A and B are shown apart, each in its own frame.
Chain A
Amino acid sequence: MNPHWLAHLDAHIATGQVAAAAESAEILSWLLKLEPEQRWCLVLRRDPCLERLLAEDYRRLLILMVELESGAIAHAPEPPEPCVALDADDAPPPALPAPVPTAPAGWRLAPVSRLAAVFLLSLLGAAGGFWLMQQQEQRRLANLEQEARALLRTLESRDDIRAELNSAESQRQRQNLLAIAALGALGARLTDGRPFAAELAALRAVWSDAPELAAALAPLDALADQGLTPPALLIDRLTDLRERQETERAALLEQARLEALDLDRFYPRARTLVARRAAAAEALKLARRSDWRGAAHALDGIDDPDYRAWRAAAEQRAAAEATLNGLLDRIWSQWTAALATAPPANAGATDAMPAASPVAAPP
């Protein structure tokens, strides 16, 4: 074989091994920043993030936990409480994938009634609607999405309900459930500011026989490769613009005070800066309430390239969120309309629902 090809392969393999070691080091570093009981929780639940640890790093972690932190096992969060309550700064390193856990072994699931499915979907629908308003809902939605996928896999593994899932009626319901889970994943990406081409493709795959739904995703295609500017970054940028403006206004005032600036030039400029300050304050207030369209509109009168760029980014976010909210509303309507006309559940089937965690209402 041409030695060049083998060398090429070996180079990729070596790069991959170095990356795997670096990734493992990042994960270990993140794990070591957690509390001991949080680490125990992740290990006991065989969290997928541990799969990327190299054997040596895993050994180091376990030695630490067993020899120094064994007492913390008693305080590890009980399922289904999350092991780690994260905000954006504490999230695992971006090198980590977003794994979907399999259903835990021995999870006993009685036949799921439509009432139970409505309950689960109401959790998803509520979280799906609230993610746009509350950044801290992002993590909860990700957990619900994972639970929905795990539930769907468990459902599909049961012979006695596979026939029900395979019926035309349940196929649509299954599609709707998958669509909501996929929309949740897409929403998380939009909030994080990460590329979301894969999530768009997943949604299109779910809606392969619903072209009108898939077509509604078209406005998001242009942004799929680079992602949206995250809300936190948008607010930071607007804050910076305001501060720059204040600095300029203060400098202008000082110049006028020292008579270094002609008053005929000072007053118009000062009026412009004061108007901008008011508009920027209004925009910042609206941006902090996640009203991106309102915030962009508040800056309409400002003819400044930096503000124009910010307005464009805010309008992109507003349009993307409106698209997602619209799709979520449609799927939710389809789901509830289908349930309203569905035949009743089998007699004698128990209504027991697995221990899914109810989502606390946002403040």
Chain B
Amino acid sequence: MSSHTIWIMNGKGGVGKSVLTMVLAWLYEAMGRPLRPIDIDDKAKLAEFMGPENVLSLRIGASAEALRADPSLAYSYWDQLAAEILEQDTAVDLGANMDRHILEWASKSELGEILVESGVTMDIYVPVTADPLAVMGGIDVLERAGEIFPASRRILVLNRIAGHFNAYESTPEFDRIARMRAEGLIVVGMDGCLSEAWTDFERLKLPPQRILAMNAATVARQTGLGILAAKRAVGDYAAWLKQLQQSFAHLVPAKLG
């Protein structure tokens, strides 16, 4: 049975990569296809949310000085990533500024061809927020990833937490996205969570499974909200998850075999 891998990447930080990874991991599990989370981030944000015992954290594996002397040091460390991807269904959260290194390694190790030969299907999610650096970074990553993984499915996630993308209509960025859409790029919107306890949930590093399992008294205690406000906050959070389920569920491939 072939495996499936999803990569979540954007060179710009703060666009919602780890949140999207958490939500996709929850969604895949709910749809009967649990993913092995892999964190390639020196800040290890995903491990903070999902617990270090549940996440495989792969760092560069060498100091900055050693890397400058021998950039290939990073590559051999990431061969473990290739082994994991070939072995099982995975979700890979690439930290900000890691995309360039990973894509270079993937290009040099011809990972794209290996995955095709092994029957591994790949989705590349690139979240962007409505700020110029995030949009430019996301488009660059999508174009580069399309060259290295031509058989992959690329998904641009418009994270509306920092505003809408109306200002980008009829811009060069819009044209580049339109060209990629003609090549099969999928564009999906993602609204910000309106739950009053969202900031507390992020601060406490709580994944969706834990939030939905907490009772109102626990949420109230952890967030300082009243009981009613805590119930409303969890309800709003659940409504946000349901909205994401409706947006992303059709992208989850059915398990074969």
Contact = CB atoms under 8 A, between A and B. Distances in A.
Interface in A186-202: 189, 194-199, 201
B196 interface: yes
B235 interface: yes
Given A2-B30, A197-B221, A15 B234 contact: yes
A31 to B, nearest CB: 16
B224 A199 contact: yes
Nearest to A25: B228
B225 interface: yes
Given A12-B238, A13-B239, A95 B228 contact: yes
A12 B241 CA distance: 11
Given A13-B235, A23-B228, 5 more contacts: A9-B212, A19-B228, A19-B232, A23-B232, A195-B221
B222 interface: yes
Given A1-B31, A9-B238, A13-B238, A20 B224 contact: no
B135 interface: no
Contacts of A196: 224
B229 A95 contact: yes
A191 to B, nearest CB: 15
Contacts of B242: 6, 9-10, 13
A18 B231 contact: yes
Interface of B: 30-32, 196, 200, 203, 212, 216, 221-239, 241-242, 245, 249
A5 B242 CA distance: 10
Interface SS, A side: helix
Given A93-B226, A197-B221, A1 B238 contact: no
A26 interface: yes
A12 B212 contact: yes
A94 interface: yes
Contacts of B212: 8-9, 12
A198 B224 contact: yes
Given A95-B227, A96-B226, A195-B224, A20 B239 contact: no
A1 B238 CA distance: 16
Interface string A190-216: 000011111101000000000000000
A15 B30 contact: no
A225 interface: yes
A225 B221 CA distance: 6
Interface in A97-154: 97
Contacts of A95: 226-229
The secondary structure that dominates the B interface is helix
A223 interface: no
A5 B224 contact: no
A16 B224 contact: no
Contacts of B32: 2
- Which of A12, A20, A23, A26 has the largest count of B CB atoms less than 10 A from its CB? A12
A342 interface: no
A276 to B, nearest CB: 37
A13 B234 CA distance: 8
A9 B245 CA distance: 10
B168 to A, nearest CB: 24
Nearest to B203: A201
B229 A96 contact: yes
Contact of A23 (B30, B229, B236): B229
A161 interface: no
A197 B229 contact: no
A19 B32 CA distance: 31
B10 to A, nearest CB: 26
Contact of A14 (B221, B226, B230, B235): B235
A96 B30 CA distance: 33
Contacts of A198: 200, 223-224
A70 interface: no
29 contacts: A1-B245, A1-B249, A2-B30, A2-B31, A5-B30, A8-B212, A9-B242, A12-B234, A12-B237, A13-B242, A15-B216, A15-B231, A16-B232, A16-B233, A16-B236, A18-B231, A19-B229, A19-B230, A19-B232, A19-B235, A20-B228, A22-B228, A95-B229, A97-B225, A97-B229, A189-B224, A198-B223, A199-B224, A201-B203
Contacts of A336: none
Which of A6, A10, A16, A94 has the most B CB atoms < 10 Å from its CB? A16
A296 B78 CA distance: 63
Contacts of B200: 198
Contacts of A96: 226, 229
Contacts of A197: 221-222, 224
A12 B203 contact: no
A93 B232 CA distance: 15
A17 interface: yes
A329 B152 CA distance: 60
Contacts of B222: 197
A181 to B, nearest CB: 16
A248 B238 CA distance: 56
Nearest to B195: A16
Contacts of B228: 19-20, 22-23, 26, 95
Contacts of A93: 226
